[in-house]
Amino acid sequence: MVKRRVHFFIASIVLCCIGSTIFPRTWLVPPAQTRQYLLFPPCRCTTEVVCEKVDNVSKPKKPKRRYFSDIDYNDEDYDYHDGPRKQWQQECEQIVKTVIKENTVCFDVWIKVLGAMADKPTGCGTLSRLLFAQSSFKLKDAFENSEAALASNPFVSLATITPDPEFSGVGFVLGENLAIKLTSCCHIGMRAHLPFKTVQVKPKSSLSDFIKGGTLAELRRIQREPVGPDGTPPIIEDSFAYRLDLLSSLFQNGINGDKFIRYDLVNLTIDQDDVTDNNGSPIHLVGRSDGTFPPSPFSATVATVAAAPFVNGQGNNVANNQRARFQQGVSYASLGNNATQQSELYVVPTLNAAGDGLSVDAQHIMTDAENILGRTGVSSLQSFLDEKNISFASQRKSGIGDLDLEFFINCDASPCLWFEGRLGLVLPTGAKVDNPGQLFLQPLGNNGHVEWNLGLASGWDLSRCIKLYADFSYNWVLSATECIAGSFKGATVKNIGPVTKANISWNYLLFHANAILMYPSSERFGLNVRYQYYYKQKDSINFCVTSIKDLAGETKTLDPTILQKFTNVHANQIGADIFSVFDYCTLWGGISYVVGGKNAPQEFIWNVGLDINF
């Protein structure tokens, strides 16, 4: 009698859900990985046993295709190799003929609806760290040596950007499983699936909230203010407050002229005026730890300023709302190199001796600063971003993903143990991203890369109610040309820059382990507990050209170092599914969560699905 083994099909043990398809290689799992691994390989051609009617004796009910044997392997009335002989003989005493019909070809189709979301990475920080290499940064950090000598728009060096994005995705996957029986214990087949998805990445707050210091109105204020006791006259018509880093970014005669503030001189100058106590301190400073404007009045009398303490060479000894002045003979080079410390200090005017107007040098500094700012013709960082076609706006993309194919050969090692070899191929049918200036726009697949993999899998029927499964695969994503943002030597921010092309490839491995617990009295209901380990190596990136013009129009040498940062990833994911097995289909639903790792988004994934057996 032909060997009979009825296999349990649990469709869609969701090992790599739609969250895997959302982000590029810097994120948790490769874009095309929504592979449909079954706990026990589908369509492992089962046998139907039919007792024919003889001499008008009613035959027993034909057993339908089942997913788990209703006979205990240790049952003395069950002979695994010859079939359920004794049980059927007791039911069919007058039956004289048994016909064995074998299914040599099996075919399943399935559909899975699923979604994913993440708003933080494993460890600490925000998702900005994975996308841009820093959670908070200035646009100048994307330039060579993180310096942008850009006289036309000082906000490139001044504005602090903290995007803090979150992603979400929803979609469905269609798949098929085909198996052909070669021998009683060996099968070959193919699996395929194609995802359809909508992916969205957006910042948690509005542009004005996560870009600080990005407008002139945030860094400079000129106001009319009374300076007498309790707001009484005299009235100062043009009192001012300039954040120190704003004035430090200005040039007197364009990019090739002298800096507006000369920190390198023995006595610090602003607009070529000595502003130390050597010249009566025509301007002074007010500390603001949060970078916002100091309280009114901005200006102060000569006596008030003369009583104020001196600023040290680092500029870090000025308390919040405290006034301080520059000291002659002190080197402020350290302060000049510390933009963060400069952003906590405001330059404000000292009044003349009469106390009814600005000092001559203070008036001179304000006039020239306004002229320089007027010549730039810009009042915000946004104008620069628009000019360079760079956008931090929310991005949403819908369509098909990459077609995933898998060929396998499956063999039984024993009645309770099987092994399977796999060869996978991923074809780039998903939409690519050709405009890296849309910073949150994500591809729907591998972004034009072909991928192949080799894998092994095994399943073990530990008992009627417990089954174990594991698989391992190593995946090669082949080199392909992508349009990306160019990066330069010494840059500390990635994925923001001029458009260029590069050949990119990467490799990764996946390991899955599953334990299936069946409900003993029914064997049609159960729980699948699963674990996934993902490890990805650092990207290989080779630019197609050696140098391009940066965002300031200066030709610079390309360097992929910063682009490769945080592209080595590992992640641990756990999940569980509940399922119900029917005669010709399986229903399931479950969740999974990334519990730990490195450089990976902490994804939460849900899924429901249906597997139909033909």
Rounded CA separation 511/469 (Å) = 11
> Average per-residue pLDDT in the chain?
84
- In the chain, domain spans: 18-44+105-209+384-613, 216-379
State the average pLDDT over residues 43-55: 39
Give the SS3 label for residue 236: strand
pTM: 0.81
Residue 612's φ and ψ, nearest 5 degrees, are -115, 130
The CA-atom distances, in angstroms, between 283 and each of 280, 297, 375, 460 are: 9, 14, 24, 81
pLDDT-derived band at 521 (thresholds 50, 70, 90) equals confident
Q: What percent of the chain has pLDDT over 90?
A: 67
**pLDDT at residue 103 in the model:** 61
In this structure, the dihedral spanned by the alpha carbons of residues 327, 330, 335 and 341, taken in order and rounded to 10 degrees, is: -40
* Segment 321-361, tens digit of pLDDT: 999 999 999 999 999 999 999 999 999 999 999 999 999 99
**pLDDT at residue 104 in the model:** 81
Q: C-alpha angle with apex 316: 315 to 318, nearest 5 degrees?
A: 90
pLDDT-derived band at 255 (thresholds 50, 70, 90) equals low
Residue 476's φ and ψ, nearest 5 degrees, are -115, 115
Q: What percent of the chain has pLDDT over 70?
A: 82
- DSSP code string of 146-168: G----TT-THHHH-EE---EEEE
* Segment 412-468, tens digit of pLDDT: 998 899 999 999 999 999 999 999 999 999 999 999 999 999 999 999 998 888 999
**pLDDT at residue 151 in the model:** 66
* Segment 127-151, tens digit of pLDDT: 999 999 999 999 999 999 998 877 6
* Segment 77-128, tens digit of pLDDT: 444 444 444 554 445 444 333 433 456 888 889 999 999 999 999 887 899 9
pLDDT at 284 exceeding the cut of 60: yes
**pLDDT at residue 13 in the model:** 37
**pLDDT at residue 72 in the model:** 40
Pick the CATH number of 18-44+105-209+384-613 from 3.40.630.30, 2.40.160.40, 3.40.50.720, 1.20.1250.20: 2.40.160.40
Least confident range of 336-345, 516-525, 537-546: 516-525
Find out whether 410 and 44 touch, Cβ atoms under 8 Å. yes
Rounded CA separation 317/591 (Å) = 53
Q: How many other C-beta atoms are found inside a 10 Å radius of the C-beta of residue 191?
A: 25
In this structure, the dihedral spanned by the alpha carbons of residues 505, 506, 507 and 508, taken in order and rounded to 10 degrees, is: -140
